[in-house]
Amino acid sequence: MIKGEISLSDNNKIEEVYPNLFKIKMPFENSPLGYINSYFINDGKKKILIDTGFNLSGSLDELKDSLGMIKIDISEITDILLTHYHIDHVGLLSNLKKAVNPKILFSKKEAELLDTMFSYSETYLKNTLEFYVKNGVDDGVIRLVKKINKMNFSSSFNGSYRLLTNPDISLADDDNISVGDYSFKVILTPGHSPGHICLYEPDFKFLIAGDHILPKTTPNVTLDEEDGNPLYDYFKSLDKIEGYDVKRVLPGHQNVFTDCHRRIQDLRDHHLERCNEILEIAWEKELNAYQIASLLHWNVNCSSWDQIDPFQKWMAIGETLAHLKFLASERYIDIIEKDGKILYLAKIQNIPYLRIGHQRV
Ligand SMILES: [Zn+2]
């Protein structure tokens, strides 16, 4: 167990972490993350569910079961708030909407992004694939991305996404949400996803963190198109949360934990180490992103890059590209375009500490 983590019994599907605020473990099969956390707040009138979990065959029954333990029927849910659009957090939304008809609360920024993705799905896929090809990505990964994209936009899969493009209440940075004794401040924390939100409760001093800060796993920060600088955004969002007095973090996966500021520093250190690993590899060598990804150390059960399956390679490439984009924006690395391909060359071998937004001369 890491320092600051609170041990909650793994057998308990539902735990009251604050008065009338419950953490519900929702299934997340075949994932090292184990399960995804939904949160449920009951103020007598309003009954709000935060994140729904995946749409697996038994998910709805699991939720019914857990809420049944606190004598709540799912039909009583009045509001559903989503921290970000990833399928492990929103997958069950369309089924719940059919069964319950709650109000949907969702990040304005992320809703607009999803709407654009749906409206221009062909362009979105084309841009992503072009960006990958320019960065040397192999055919196996390209085929996988096409397949996943088709699935995401298929009617059987996208019901939840569609609902999010037009939420009942759009949330922006600094908005307030009152539920019973709690008055949450919405904090926009882009990085893990472009319009990710956290909720901060200033009296009780806890943070519902979604996937922005997890106690054990480093939240994935990925780049899949030319535009954007998600790692820069992520660092800025870590800085933002550091400005709050957070006594406990209620994360989207794993256990509730206390040491928020220390965890933020661990996450910065992790990414700094990753940046330095990349600079070392691209020092005095012009390489494409795929080559750089293949030379990095990945925490997977394979002896070589070639044995890594396309899904893990895709994750690795996205993460590498996010770091390269950040390093280029901070002028630690040069981007060289040659014959329609993108190559990277480090300008410095090592950065001793992070200075975000600092433009080197
Ligand atoms: Zn997640």
199 CB-contact burial (10 Å; exposed 0-12 / middle 13-18 / buried 19+): buried
Other Cβ atoms within 10 Å of 181 Cβ, number = 14
pLDDT of residue 15: 95
Cα–Cα distances (Å) from 358 to 65, 232, 242, 273, in that order, read 51, 11, 19, 18
| d(CA 211, ligand 1 centre) in Å | 5
Structure tokens that stand for 269 in this block: 């250190």
Average pLDDT for 237-264? 97
Least confident of 32-41, 124-133, 263-272: 32-41
Average pLDDT for 296-312? 88
Q: Is the pLDDT of residue 256 over 50?
A: yes
Q: Is the pLDDT of residue 10 over 60?
A: no
Other Cβ atoms within 10 Å of 40 Cβ, number = 21
| d(CA 90, ligand 1 centre) in Å | 9
Q: Is the pLDDT of residue 243 over 80?
A: yes
Place of tokens 């059919």: 98
| d(CA 348, ligand 1 centre) in Å | 34
Q: Is the pLDDT of residue 8 over 60?
A: no
Q: Is the pLDDT of residue 295 over 90?
A: yes
Do residues 292 and 306 touch, judged by C-beta distance below 8 A?
no
Q: Minimal CA–CA distance to 157: which of 245, 77, 93, 69?
A: 93
Average pLDDT, the chain: 91
| d(CA 227, ligand 1 centre) in Å | 23
Structure tokens that stand for 56 in this block: 């697996």
| d(CA 71, ligand 1 centre) in Å | 27
Average pLDDT for 42-54? 94
Average pLDDT for 351-361? 67
Options 1.10.260.40, 3.30.420.40, 3.40.50.300, 3.60.15.10; CATH for 14-115+156-266 is 3.60.15.10
Helix (H, G, I), strand (E, B) or coil at 104: strand
| d(CA 85, ligand 1 centre) in Å | 9
Q: Is the pLDDT of residue 169 over 80?
A: yes
Q: Which residue has the higher pLDDT, 56 or 178?
A: 178
Q: How confident is the model at residue 58 (pLDDT cuts 50, 70, 90)?
A: confident
Share of residues in the chain with pLDDT > 90 (%): 74
> What does DSSP say about strands 333-338 and 341-346: parallel, antiparallel, or unpaired?
antiparallel
Measured between alpha carbons, how far apart are the two ends of the chain, in Å? 43
How far apart, in whole angstroms, are the C-alpha atoms of residue 54 and residue 124? Answer: 24
| d(CA 32, ligand 1 centre) in Å | 11
In this structure, what are the phi and psi dihedrals at residue 67, rounded to the nearest 5 degrees?
Answer: -65, -30
Q: Minimal CA–CA distance to 194: which of 318, 36, 83, 311?
A: 83
Q: Is the pLDDT of residue 359 over 70?
A: no
Average pLDDT for 92-108? 93
Q: Which residue has the higher pLDDT, 361 or 189?
A: 189
| d(CA 53, ligand 1 centre) in Å | 9
| d(CA 157, ligand 1 centre) in Å | 17
Structure tokens that stand for 340 in this block: 């329609």
Average pLDDT for 24-38? 83
Q: Which residue has the higher pLDDT, 327 or 154?
A: 327
Q: Minimal CA–CA distance to 42: which of 7, 66, 8, 12?
A: 66
Do residues 326 and 231 touch, judged by C-beta distance below 8 A?
yes
Q: Minimal CA–CA distance to 51: which of 11, 23, 31?
A: 23
| d(CA 272, ligand 1 centre) in Å | 23
Structure tokens that stand for 111 in this block: 């809703």
| d(CA 341, ligand 1 centre) in Å | 33
Structure tokens that stand for 334 in this block: 């040069």
Least confident of 36-40, 74-78, 97-101, 108-112: 97-101
Give the pLDDT confidence of 222-233 residue by residue, as tens digits.
Answer: 999 889 999 999
| d(CA 220, ligand 1 centre) in Å | 9
Q: Is the pLDDT of residue 176 over 90?
A: yes
| d(CA 194, ligand 1 centre) in Å | 14
Share of residues in the chain with pLDDT > 70 (%): 93
Give the pLDDT confidence of 116-168 residue by residue, as tens digits.
Answer: 888 888 888 899 999 999 999 999 999 999 988 887 776 555 688 889 999 99
CA 203 to chain centre: 26
Parse the chain into domains and list their residue ranges: 14-115+156-266
| d(CA 253, ligand 1 centre) in Å | 7
| d(CA 251, ligand 1 centre) in Å | 9
Cα–Cα distances (Å) from 271 to 135, 152, 294, 351, in that order, read 21, 29, 17, 11
